[in-house]
Amino acid sequence: MIARVRAAVVMAAVLALTACQGGPPSSGGGTGSVDDGTTITMWTRSPTATFSQTLVDAYNASHKNKVKLTVFPADSYQQKVGTAAGAKQLPDVLASDVVYAPNYAANGVFMDITERVNQLPFKASLAPAHMKAAAHDGKDFAVPHDIDLSAMFYNKVLFTRAGLDPAKPPTTLDEMAADAKKINALGGGVNGYFFGGACPGCQLFTSWPMIWASGGTVLNDQGTASTIDNPVAAKVYSLLRQMHADGLVPASAKDESGPTWTQSFIDGKIGIQPMGATALQGMKEGPDLQVGVAPIPGLTGGSSSFVGGDVVGIGANSQHAAAAWDFIAWTLSDKAQVDVVAKNKNITVRSDLAGNTYAQQDPRLGVFNKLAEQGQTPISVNFGKTYNDTNGPWTQTVIDAVFGAGDPASALHEHNAAITESLASGS
């Protein structure tokens, strides 16, 4: 009997604890920051591990506070954060893929840091796409951490071999296809173009900028309805489909689910491939690979970029908000952004530092910095389950549009309602 009563008490308490979680919390008291030797915890996902660790090491070396970073597998990060939020056991500092920021802000995972952010003298120069994604009801819940954006990478060695001018990357999608065709004609295991055909995240990361640059849209401003059923998007996917059908893309691209989608380019076997800016850090240039970087073009010109990466905020139940903010504010400072972020070939999250010393030394970083100001981050509370989840409606949409039996316009039209339904349904 006693056991039964205790079990009931435990269950009631659990329900009470989990039920009261939800909705954005208050600012957690105070707006200041302290560096008094507090140890704070931070979580991040594996793709951002090196970036975050570099900042943490630099902060720990120069401050009394100590940040203890834990890295979790990217694919399971949502589950970890969700469970911890339910149990009110979030870390002091929480980094998140920017596309999940609207969900975290709306569901009370992040603490409201509006007043703290307003005190930053450089607030206006923080990456606008990230700031917009991490805002909810006019309040700020996180700030930019690591910017990864999509850009067109091309192999200058193959450009030269194919008789193309490596100083003149394509400025329209038609030019891109034409250049890819010439490079493909080189043969010897070389292909003109590559994409991750079975990787929904890779596809949206690289093909949506083509649509945006062409004047099209993919979803409405509220992030509640898909607008991918439009003629511009149909033309973009028709082009990609044609390139695959013409053999400019390796047959393996159809099954590429993401983990190795940059490998062929790194091996010097691909002429042109849009991918993430952070890939540049891991590329070893040599006789087969000289990397050129240009913005992703539209059908008849223009350019755009998908601004991805991570934002960072204070965990809703942090007991060390002031110390956590001290670390976060420091990561945005001139010193951290130039001497740590830019020095390690990463993109600064502040537009006023875009022309820093390191960006001037490598013109490719200049391209990235410019794109960070111009690019977009689509905002939707249900982004993950709709677009990144391999079981979500976007996966089949893009597979049908690029590889299906029908034409791309029909595929986009057919799946548009399912995407909207997923975007609009409960988070």
Partner 1 sequence: MTRTRTGAFYLTGAALAVLFLLPMLWTVFSSVRGREAASGGDGWGLANYQRLLAYGSGLGTYLTNTVVVAVVAVSVTVVTTTLGGYAMVRLPFPGRNVLFLVTLAVLMVPYTTILVPLYILLGWLGLQNSLVGLGLVLAVLQLPFGLFMMRNSFDALPAELEEAALVDGCTITGALRRVLLRGVLPGIVTVALFSFLAAWNEFVAPLIFLTDGSKFTLPVALFNLQSGSLGSVDFGALQAGVVVSALPCVAVFLVLQRYYVRGFTSGALKG
Of 62-70, 171-179, 336-344, 375-383, which segment contacts partner 1 by CB under 8 A? 62-70
306 binds partner 1 (CB under 8 A): no
Tokens of 193: 């173009």
Residue 41 CB, shortest distance to partner 1, in Å, is 7
Q: Is 7 near partner 1 (CB under 8 A)?
A: no
Contact status: 69 vs partner 1 (CB under 8 A): yes
427 binds partner 1 (CB under 8 A): no
Of 33, 191, 262, 305, the residue at the interface with partner 1 (CB under 8 A) is: 262
Interface stretch with partner 1, choices 45-53, 103-111, 116-124, 127-135 (CB under 8 A): 45-53
Integer distance in angstroms from the first to the last C-alpha of the chain? Answer: 39
Name the pairing type of β-strands 296-297 and 270-276. Answer: unpaired
User: Per CB under 8 A, which region of 256-264, 292-300, 353-361, 413-421 contacts partner 1?
Assistant: 256-264
Q: What is each CA distance from 360 to 279, 307, 356, in whole angstroms?
A: 19, 21, 6
- 138, 282, 286, 287: which one binds partner 1 (CB under 8 A): 282
- Specify whether the CB–CB gap between 296 and 303 falls below 8 A: yes
Give the number of residues in contact with partner 1, rule: CB under 8 A.
45
Question: Least distance from C-beta 19 to partner 1, angstroms?
Answer: 11
The smaller minimum CB distance to partner 1, of residues 17 and 251, is found at: 17
Minimum distance from residue 49 beta carbon to partner 1 (Å): 8
Using CA atoms of 48, 54, 56, 61 in order, give the dihedral in degrees to the nearest 10: 180
**Minimum distance between the CB of residue 74 and partner 1, rounded to whole angstroms?**
4
Answer for the pair 212, 376: CB distance below 8 angstroms, yes or no: yes
Residues 6+ apart with CB under 8 A from 132: 377, 379
294 lines the binding site for partner 1 (CB under 8 A): no
User: Does residue 263 interact with partner 1 by CB under 8 A?
Assistant: yes
Minimum separation from the CB atom of position 231 to partner 1 (A) = 30
- 70 lines the binding site for partner 1 (CB under 8 A): yes
CB distance 276 to 309 below 8 Å: no
Task: Give, in degrees to the nearest 5, the angle at Cα 79 between 394 and 327.
Answer: 105
* Choice from 34, 58, 84, 291 touching partner 1 (CB under 8 A): 84
What is the largest distance, in Å, between two alpha-carbon atoms of the chain? Answer: 85
Cβ proximity to partner 1, 189 vs 406, nearer residue? 189
CB of residue 394 to partner 1, shortest distance in Å? 17
Identify which range of 13-21, 239-247, 310-318, 374-382 contacts partner 1 by CB under 8 A.
13-21
The alpha carbon dihedral of 302, 404, 149, 40 has a sign of: positive
Map the footprint of partner 1 across residues 332-351, applying CB under 8 A: none
- Nearer to partner 1 by Cβ, of 209 and 223: the residue is 209
Contact status: 242 vs partner 1 (CB under 8 A): no
CB-based contact 293:371 (threshold 8 Å): no
Of the pair 282, 426, the CB lying nearest partner 1 is at 282
160 binds partner 1 (CB under 8 A): no
Report how far residue 367's alpha carbon sits from residue 71's, in angstroms, rounded to the nearest whole number: 30
HSE of 387, CA atoms in CB hemisphere, 13 A = 25
Angstrom distances, CA of residue 312 to CA of 91, 113, 334, 349, 366 = 12, 11, 17, 12, 24
Compute the distance between CA of residue 342 and CA of residue 319 in angstroms, rounded to an integer.
Answer: 32
Q: Is 8 in the site for partner 1 (CB under 8 A)?
A: no
| Calpha distance 244→198 (Å, rounded) | 13
Nearest approach, Cβ of residue 333 and partner 1 (Å):
25
Neighbours of 36 (CB within 10 A): 11
State the burial class of residue 295 (Cβ atoms within 10 Å of its Cβ: 0-12, 13-18, 19+).
Answer: buried
Give contact residues for partner 1 (rule: CB under 8 A): 10-11, 13-14, 17-18, 41, 43, 45-47, 49-50, 68-76, 79-80, 83-84, 86-87, 89, 91, 201-202, 258-263, 266-267, 275-276, 278-279, 282
